[in-house]
Chains A and B, each alone.
Chain A
Amino acid sequence: DTEVTQTPKHLVMGMTNKKSLKCEQHMGHRAMYWYKQKAKKPPELMFVYSYEKLSINESVPSRFSPECPNSSLLNLHLHALQPEDSALYLCASSQVKQANTEAFFGQGTRLTVV
């Protein structure tokens, strides 16, 4: 099973709303990632969790707040977003701290901020 499941698939939110994106994997991976992808651009790394601890934050604005409650789950809490935050948000997982490890992506959440 190489499945990473993300919910919801689509999300429309206002700039004053609070919402959360969820990601789940059961491959025993202890590294989980959030990426952001704008149209016709490559995915950009936002956060990395290793062993449920935040290990990389790519200078992401505080209106994005990640959380890793256990080894299978990863959340991204959203608050006071801007229209330019509209994008495809991708979760991925891999083995932790091994250079030769594949990262598997979920299907993404298409976020629209209005």
Chain B
Amino acid sequence: QKEVEQNSGPLSVPEGAIASLNCTYSDRGSQSFFWYRQYSGKSPELIMFIYSNGDKEDGRFTAQLNKASQYVSLLIRDSQPSDSATYLCAVNILTGGGNKLTFGTGTQLKVEL
């Protein structure tokens, strides 16, 4: 079982719709959770992070965390063509050596006009 799992997509949504991206993780010791956006050929850009169960909203983005189900999601409201990118879910575990951030394989999102 992979440590962090995402559906690779592509996930296609029309402009203005809500895009829902999902991620599951295997290690119950995971402590913090991140969503990065990555455009082709570019580096990952942090867009949301969440540490506690429940929802966290920032503009058009909402992250949701359910530690009991080991599930984290990202909702993008009013999707725009500029949101088309790969979204990487990352899970952080604090070890004796420091933070280990493990990424899922990413979900490719396409927002269509």
Q: Using a CB–CB distance below 8 Å, which chain A residues touch chain B?
A: 31, 33, 41-45, 48, 50, 55-56, 88, 90, 92, 94, 96-108, 110
B32 touches A100 (CB 8 A): yes
B98 touches A99 (CB 8 A): no
* Nearest A-chain residue to B4, judged by Cβ: A42
Q: What's the A-B contact tally at a CB cutoff of 8 Å?
A: 74
| Any A CB within 8 A of the CB of B95 | yes
Given contacts A42-B105, A102-B49, 15 further A-B contacts (CB under 8 A): A42-B88, A42-B103, A42-B104, A42-B106, A45-B102, A48-B97, A94-B99, A96-B98, A98-B99, A99-B32, A101-B32, A101-B99, A102-B46, A107-B43, A108-B43
- Number of B interface residues at 8 Å Cβ cutoff, please give it: 28
Q: Using a CB–CB distance below 8 Å, which chain B residues touch chain A?
A: 31-32, 34, 36, 41-46, 49, 51, 88, 90, 92-95, 97-106
B contact face: mostly helix, strand, loop, or mixed = strand
Contacts of A104 in B (CB 8 A): 46
B106 touches A45 (CB 8 A): no
* Nearest A-chain residue to B31, judged by Cβ: A99
B98 touches A55 (CB 8 A): yes
Q: Can you report 25 residue pairs joining A to B where beta carbons are below 8 Å apart?
A: A42-B88, A43-B88, A43-B103, A48-B97, A48-B99, A48-B100, A50-B97, A56-B98, A56-B100, A90-B43, A97-B94, A99-B32, A99-B93, A99-B99, A100-B31, A101-B32, A102-B34, A102-B49, A103-B34, A103-B99, A105-B36, A105-B45, A105-B46, A107-B42, A110-B41
Contacts of A88 in B (CB 8 A): 43
* Nearest B-chain residue to A94, judged by Cβ: B99
Complex formed: what's the CA distance from A48 to B88 in Å?
A: 20
A48 touches B44 (CB 8 A): no
Contacts of B98 in A (CB 8 A): 31, 48, 50, 55-56, 96-97
* Nearest A-chain residue to B49, judged by Cβ: A102
Which one of A31, A90, A105, A110 contacts B99 once the chains associate, using CB atoms below 8 Å?
A31
